[in-house]
Amino acid sequence: MLWISIIWSFYSTSSYNYPFIFGIVGLTIVTLTYKKFPEFSFGILALILFLSIFDVIIFCYALRINIGILNLSSILLFTILFFTQLDKFLELRRKWSEPEESDLKDQFNNRVKIYKSQFRNLSELELHRKLEDNQLTNEAKVAVSELLKEKSTSHSANSL
């Protein structure tokens, strides 16, 4: 339907502005990426339809029905897309808002490094007491364990 409105606008209008060109480019990207990257394509389609509600992107000059700054035909298309593809919207929201597994591991490792720098000057006895403390976070426990291993290996290397 969007391509029909763009073709219709080509025939009915002789001058084109940036929002119309952005609409053509956006819809072309959606069309070209649909087969290989359907999630990306769907996200771009939802974005350009949402932006077309406020006339940031324009698909059609002929069928524009505006109330103030809102384009009613775009609101209708976005609403139809939203309710027919609600599960895809929820999946996109989940994927874009949740950190990836590698990000979580990096965050964990960074917190361990911070705790290690905080606990580095403690003695082995103090480290053992900290490890027995049930109020430590998992990252702090890992940091204390690593420091204890480092101290025990350095003591065994010094004794040789």
Per-residue pLDDT of the chain (160 residues; tens, 9 = 90+): 667 777 777 777 777 788 888 988 998 999 999 999 998 999 999 999 999 999 899 877 766 778 888 988 889 889 998 999 999 888 888 877 776 777 778 888 899 899 889 988 888 888 888 888 778 888 888 888 888 888 777 766 665 5
Q: Are residues 18 and 75 in the same domain?
A: yes
Answering whether pTM is above 0.75, one says no
Q: Are residues 89 and 107 in the same domain?
A: no
Residue 63, domain extent: 2-97
> Which three-class secondary structure string do you get for the chain?
CHHHHHHHHHHHCCCCCHHHHHHHHHHHHHHHHCCCCHHHHHHHHHHHHHHHHCCCCCCCCCCCCEECCEEHHHHHHHHHHHHHCHHHHHHHHHHHHCCCHHHHHHHHHHHHHHHHHHHCCCCHHHHHHHHHCCCCCHHHHHHHHHHHHHHHHHHHHHHC
Q: Are residues 72 and 51 in the same domain?
A: yes
Number of folded domains that form the chain: 2
> Which three-class secondary structure string do you get for 22-50?
HHHHHHHHHHHHCCCCHHHHHHHHHHHHH
Q: Which one of 79, 97, 115 terminates a domain?
A: 97
